[in-house]
Structure formats: C-alpha cells, structure tokens
Structure 1
C-alpha cells in the first residue's frame, strides 16, 4: 500500500472536518485509463504558469490553459495544493461542473470551481460524465462598459480569447461563476458558430433601447387658457391625471360631455373643462345630435332667453366656442348656446 493511499484511508477513517464524504485519492487501485496514464507520465514535469499582461479589465494578468470541462464523479475536496495534507478550500458535490488544465501533480489536477482555483484528485474528474455543459438559453443582451477580456473560463487564469471594446454587444446566459458570466458574441464565425466565453459581470450593462416615437397627434388643436386639470373622467370629482400649463396646446378628440372636452396632452388623454379651452381657428368636427329635447339659448347660461327647443335626436351644427358648460351650435339656421351634457358628437 503506497503512502498516498494510507494517508487517504487514515483521513477517511478520522472523517476530516468539512469533508466527511469527500474523496481526494482512491482507497483502492483500479485500471488506469489512457487519460490517467498520460497524466501520470507527465506528472514529473511541473507546468510553469504563462505570464501575460492583460490589455483589458478583469483584474488579472496571468493566463493559462484551463478550458477543459469536467464533472466530479463523487463529492470531492478542492485543495490548496496537490497533496492530501493540504488545506481544503471547498467540497465540490458529485456532478459539479469544473474547468481544468493539463497540469497534474501527484495525481491532482489544477481546476477552477465557482471562481476558486485549487487542486482535485484527477481520478474523480470525468470528461465523459457530462463534461460538456449547457449554459442555458440567452436571457438578454448586455454591453461592455470598458475594454474587457473575453476568456475561455471564469477565472483570471483562463486564456484571453480576445479583448472586447467598450460597447461590444453580447448575448448573455444566466450562468455566472466567480464574478464572470457566460456569453456569446452575436456574430457567427466562418464555421457558422457563435463564439462563446466568459466576461467579468462587473463590466456589463443592460442594453437600453430608444422607445419608438409617439404617433402623430390627432384631433383638433386647442389652447389652454389657464392652468387646467386634465381629469380621468368628465367630472370635477374624478382624479387629476396632470395639470396642463397656461398656453399649452392639446388635441381635442371631438368628444364633449357635461361641460368637458376629451383631449390629449402629450401622451395622456383625459377630460378638461371646456370653458378654459380655446379651439383653434378653422373647421371643427362639425355635426352632432341632441340626446334629449334641448333649449337653444341666446347666451351660455340658464337665465338667458330660449330661442327655440331642439327636439331629441335632431342634427345640429357644432360651433367652436365653449362657456359655462354650454357650446355654440346652429339648428335650422338659428345660432345660439346649448348644454354640452345633451349633445353627442356625430
């Protein structure tokens, strides 16, 4: 029995804190896979980290090949160095997704798990057990805020695929790891595939879209003669949507009720008291009908002389003046004032 196995069995027997079910090294021998054999053959050579000065943001300068995807085949300790006596940084659950490099020492492989770099026993890492991962669908679009590295994995030790300029558009997934987010460049490569990688989430912002311009206003223009409430209904007891300033221009839909006109100011449509609105010169949607027998008066008030009585359902010519809940109208050649409460615009 070799020293590594004895150490492992001893630790399993003593149930080391925080890693009770986790494994670093096998407690029994099994046939070496081709990958394990090649890894063991190369274990005598220590890989040197490649130093490279990053030209963009993400807080690091060192890059290395750490782009091989793995899954853990059991609960597995992530250690500070390639030894069963090294400090346990995390316990990775069975089936956890990790990325690793080619560096193997004493049977341990250098890997990254959720942004933490460490060493895990290689025999419990599988490239075939779901090694390729599914980052999920595109959840939105982000823009880079500065020049930022686009990396092969979610750490500063992963290779830089390319440097993205500020305002580069990326399609992003919900997958994050150690402050990095998995994303795609929208443009396809010459092979018809989108380039994917990891980018520091802190340097991404939501893409803002310019809202479409509002449709051109419709209806007759009216001028606000004094600061005037725009209400939700044709009543002084209804809620105030906003206050139109004196001199503002609104658009009248042609509908009037109970002394109010239905108007649109900006993008808000509501009701405003007709007496404080001046319809612009020119023809106004011209005809309406009475909803009841209606007095045609000489002046816009209830004490004014009645010129005639307009029968219910009669067609009348609508004028452009409003006052005190009355509107100027013409019926069979006689002009006067009639209550807007009993006029329906045709």
Structure 2
C-alpha cells in the first residue's frame, strides 16, 4: 500500500482502489513473513467480504464446496483467495477439502505449476496421489511429500496394472533421481553391482526400487545380475516374456535344463537359460 500522509498516530493509505486511515503502528517499512497458506473448502454458500464482520461489504458469494486458499487469520475470521478475489469469511464456514484419490496412468512428471516446464518428481505407473484441485485440463496433486500439477488425462480413478517387475543390477556407480533426466534431483548414489527391482520404464530411463527408495536411472546403467543361484527344470517348461500363462512364449526348455535364477514374482521365477531370459513357473524348478 502507499502512505499518503501521517497525522499523529494515524496514516492515510491507498490499498488497491481503496483509500483510508490505519494506525501507524500497524505498518512496517519491510514486508513481514506471511502466514503459511493452506487449502480449505466452503461448507456451504458464504459471502466473501472486503472487511471482517457480518456487515462487511460483499465482494461476491462463494458456492458450497468452493476450494479457497487461506492466507491470513484474525480471531474467528479467515482471509481467503479464490481466483482473482481476496477477502474475509468466517472460520466456521471452512472445512478440510474432501480428498480425492487418483492413480498415475503411466510415468508422468509432476510439474511446479500447470503447463509449466521442469518437474518436481516423476511418478511411476500406478502411483497414488491426492487431487487437491482441478484447473482446466490440469490437476494439482499431492504425491508423498511433493505437491505439483499433472495433466488430468494422465490420472485414473482406478489403479492401472503395473508393469512386470524384474531384478537387475547396476553396471557402475549411478545416481538415483526423483525426476527422469540427467539433471533430475538426486535421491542418492547406488554403488556398482547394486541389485535393484525395475518397476517401470519410459524411453531410455527405468524406475527402480532399492531398499526404501524409488527413483529413476538410465537403462544403460543396468545389466542382468550375475546368476548366483542355479536351478534345474523338472519337466519340459515354457519360457515366457511375462510372468503369466498368457505371456508371449519365447521357447520351451527341456527337462533337466540348468538355469540361472534372476528374480521371482508370485509363483513365477525369472531365469536366464543360455542367451534367453524370461519367466517360468516356479513349481517346475528344483
């Protein structure tokens, strides 16, 4: 605001299109820290007022269920922003917003703002998020400790099937990143030879889990793990591309074929037989 004049302990100020007087002690030459903002929603129809109090001039009426950002408070009143309007409503007219759950349809960047470049984090297929609000074709979401925006078309009300997981190992030291790309924020560095579970993929990047951490590494940094466990087939056995009886058939292994075990998933075992890698039923290995 602009100070127009001072008379005693009062100052005449211009704030936006309004001019009036405030106690000078309530003004500061430097901008104070603003209270932490939070998202709430109206529990019913409520008048947004330019002045605190039931008789304050009305700016407009907010419909029930309108999401607002609370930017300040005083007693039983809250200053809120909705769209281009900022004003005051009773604290009793606000409730926590209903949480809507959704799932990522595929690998998707969570961006710092709608239609913005860059990314806060890259979600894997099936990652669960809380939808905070929708603006046009974009949704603001909370994923773990991260909040940002994704294209609404990349969200689903039901959890999609996750890609088949597989065990790989790092061919050298590699940085695990929260966002796909060589400049993505680093989570930590994986040592050479670290075994990881590949849970998703996008282009030349792979989403992997190691311990309690999930992030992205270049596909070129992963190799098949050394087969430290060897088993033998107890019957002629189909080697499939996916851990399912409907998975594409790669070849049929003869009885007593020796294979290297790479990982397991449910009742299936990922094996390497000669130069071929795929999945077989765990029931027919010893």
Give the TM-score, by structure 2 length. Answer: 0.31
More strand by share: 2
Higher share in helix: 1
